[in-house]
Amino acid sequence: MDKITIKFFGVLSEVAGTTEEEIPISVDTKSLLDLLKQKYSDLSGLQYSVAVNQVISGENRKISAGDEIALLPPFTGG
Amino acid sequence: MNQDKHLISGAISQEFVAQKLAEHQSREQIGAHAIFMGQVRADQINGHVTMGIEYSAYDEMIGKVVEEIKTDLFSRFDDLVCIHIWHSTGMVKVGEMSLFVLVSSGHRKQSFAALEDCVEQIKMKLPVWKKEIFTDGSHLWQGI
């Protein structure tokens, strides 16, 4: 089965208990997030944006095999 | 195209800053360097005292975001010669440097304006996260 890589950053890596995991492909980012919220219930209360292959996308996007999806909490560099 | 390494493991040393400035001596069209240095502050949050900050970053995305910021600045400031951004990852202790931005231009005015703009864009767009580490061993993720 086709796989995708999920990356968790900042506080989200604590919520997920990992910084990265490989899971079977979801059809789009919305269905992926629904799945992740079921898997990690604490995700729901947190703010984050979603990047597909290092590009942030505010809208629901189709996912292809091998894509890298990252969940990014608000940036706090500096 | 992106030849800069933007992430530095641990604190940014004074030697590194000096070396980067020295590397610009041969660029003779430069008349002004504006520098921003971010230093880790000893914050006190709900009775906890900061010992340092542990930074994490989305390494593969940083280069794209830096190029985006540079393209934007070069399109709006025509006197700019070069822009460099270095950010720490990992642990940086109170008093040490975690961000070094170097903006160079022909004349002073644009270096000041572009530097401020650049730092604001870094704060907004650079995929970096800080985990405040306290002296009592507890920690706090900023920005949540």
How many domains does the structure of chain A reveal?
1
Residue with tokens 């909490």: A73
Q: How far is CA B48 from the centre of its chain?
A: 26
Is a pLDDT exceeding 50 seen at residue B130? yes
For residue A34, the SS3 value is helix
CATH of domain B7-141: 3.90.1170.40
CATH number of the CATH domain containing A44: 3.10.20.30
Residue A67 included in any domain: yes
Q: Is the pTM of this model over 0.90?
A: yes
CA distance B1 to B58: 19
CA distance B78 to B47: 48
pLDDT in tens, A21-66: 999 999 999 999 999 999 999 999 999 999 999 999 889 999 999 9
CB contact under 8 A, A77 and B64: no
| Contact assessment for residue B80 and residue B29, using Cβ atoms and an 8 Å cutoff | no
CA distance A44 to B89: 28
CA distance B134 to B144: 17
Partners of residue A10 in chain B, C-beta under 8 Å:
56, 129, 131, 141, 143-144
Tell which B residues from 6 to 35 touch A, by Cβ distance under 8 Å: none
| ipTM score of complex | 0.94
